[in-house]
Amino acid sequence: MLPRSRLFVVLFTLATMGTSCVVRERAVDRPRGCPGGFWVERHRGPQGRWHEGHWRCPGVVERIEIE
């Protein structure tokens, strides 16, 4: 029989193995005519609205809808 501390470690390891994250990656092409552009990960905006990941091009004025 295993000592209690070893049994606790085994049970803890088995419990945490099922809670791992799944990351889904997908390739997104850089838009043409966007030199120096950078990828912005998905995030919540200042008003709490959800934004999917997108490219941001320097020097391009973005329109923001006011909810």
> Closest by alpha carbon to 54, among 39, 43, 65?
39
Residue 47, in any domain of the structure = yes
Residue 18, in any domain of the structure = no
The tokens describing 36, both together, are: 């120096």
Residue 15, in any domain of the structure = no
Residue 41, in any domain of the structure = yes
Residue 44, in any domain of the structure = yes
Task: Report the number of distinct structural domains present in the chain.
Answer: 1
User: Can you give the residue range of the structural domain that contains 51?
Assistant: 31-59
Instruction: Report d(CA 61, CA 67) in Å as an integer.
Output: 19
Distance of alpha carbon 26 from its chain centroid, rounded?
Answer: 12
Residue 37, in any domain of the structure = yes
Q: Which residues contact 50 (CB under 8 A, 6 or more apart)?
A: 42, 43, 44
Residue 64 in contact with residue 46, Cβ under 8 Å?
no
Given this model, what pLDDT does residue 19 score? 65
Residue 45, in any domain of the structure = yes
**For the segment 3-58, what is each residue's pLDDT rounded down to a tens digit?**
888 888 888 887 777 666 677 777 777 778 788 888 888 888 887 888 888 888 88
